[in-house]
Amino acid sequence: MAGRFQVVLTSLKMVALVAIIIFGLLLGKVGGTASDTYTILGRGGFASFLMVLVPVMAAYNGFQSLGCIGEEVTNPQKNIPRAAIFGSLVVISLYMLVNWAYFRVLGLSRVAESHHVASDTMVQLIGNNGAKWITVGMIISALGALHANFLVYPRIPFAMARDGYFFAFAKRVQPLYRTPSGAIFFQACVAVLLVLTGTYQELYSFEMFAIWLFFALTAIALIRLRITEPELPRSYRVWGYPWTVLVFGIAGLAISLNLWLARPVRSSIGLAIILLGAPFFFYWRRRAIRVSVVEAASEAKA
């Protein structure tokens, strides 16, 4: 049921984007002037480019979430890569087309100055009612993103708790709906605490720092495992290995490092929270190994 509800929310979000694209194509007039390109793109440098990537990658974020629900996906070896690739291509196409509509209607200068570019575009196209409909679309979009997070990310503490690497309450499964209720409750509490700590911009910067740091670490782990365990069965092999992995890892490290330099306090707090989890993990791992040894000894005696 949750999966079908997510499909509905995502479809409504896509309808809103397609509507902007169609209105921009049929009703929009090319805005701005040729000098806009030089006045806007001539500022900043590589560090500014990396900072701009933070909200951009927040918009694209989610392609990695499929792995968290791999246990519930039919034929995950094929369907997860297909979904990740196809889903990313759809998002890229929609975002490129909708940005083309923004620039066509408003021009580069007005897009750069606007704090509500989608609403301003629809006001320009069909009046104030257009902005109201876009606001409804944004609410649906936010709900869809929130719902996807609660559908996906509780599976991580749930799986860790089930294997003995997290608090035991997180492995609780709701008897009627068969959902990981303990892990969902845990994520809800963490989400509430985070919401109380800062603005939306601070929170997504906080999130992107941690996510892209772990992307870089994932790239390192993948290369290390290929070297240390070359014969390990692998259901999916990375295209262009090792160059695609290296480029991805370097990009992740660059985004995180630049974000840390730009917002050192917030990023350092995020890093401290991550490091705070390390002693808990090592404690749980030692305990899980000890339990598995005891169980193996008991089975051997039996």
pLDDT of 7-55, one tens digit each?
A: 999 999 899 899 889 988 887 766 554 445 444 444 557 777 777 777 7
**Boundary of a domain, candidates 94, 125, 152:** 152
What does pLDDT average to over the chain? 85
Q: Do 132 and 180 fall into the same domain? A: no
Model confidence pLDDT, tens digit, residues 113-172: 888 888 888 888 888 887 788 888 889 888 988 898 888 999 999 999 999 899 999 999
The reported pLDDT for the residue numbered 60 is 79
Same domain, 122 and 163: no
Identify the pLDDT of residue 249.
93
Shared domain for 1 and 87, answered yes or no, is yes
**Residues 205 and 193 both lie in one domain:** no
**pLDDT (tens digit, 9 = 90+) per residue, 159-199?**
999 998 999 999 999 999 889 999 999 999 998 988 888 77
Whether 53 and 87 share a structural domain:
yes
Helix axis angle, 243-262 relative to 264-301, nearest 10°? Answer: 130
* Judgement on whether residues 82 and 192 belong to the same structural domain of the protein: no
pLDDT of residue 40: 45
Give yes or no: residues 15 and 144 share one domain.
yes
Residues 89 and 169 occupy one common structural domain: no
Task: Give the pLDDT score at 34.
Answer: 43
Confidence of residue 246 (pLDDT cuts 50, 70, 90): very high
Same domain as 135, residue 277? no
Residue appearing with tokens 């749930």: 158
If asked whether residues 234 and 287 sit together in one domain, one would say yes
pLDDT for 35 equals: 46
Domain extent, residue 281, equals 199-302
Residue 97: predicted pLDDT: 94
User: What is the pLDDT averaged over residues 248-273?
Assistant: 85
The pTM of the full predicted model, rounded to 2 decimals, is: 0.79
Total domain count for the chain? 3
Q: Verify that 165 and 42 share a domain, yes or no.
A: no
- 82-110: per-residue pLDDT in tens? 888 899 899 999 999 999 999 988 888 88
- Asked if residue 121 and residue 39 are part of one domain, the reply reads yes
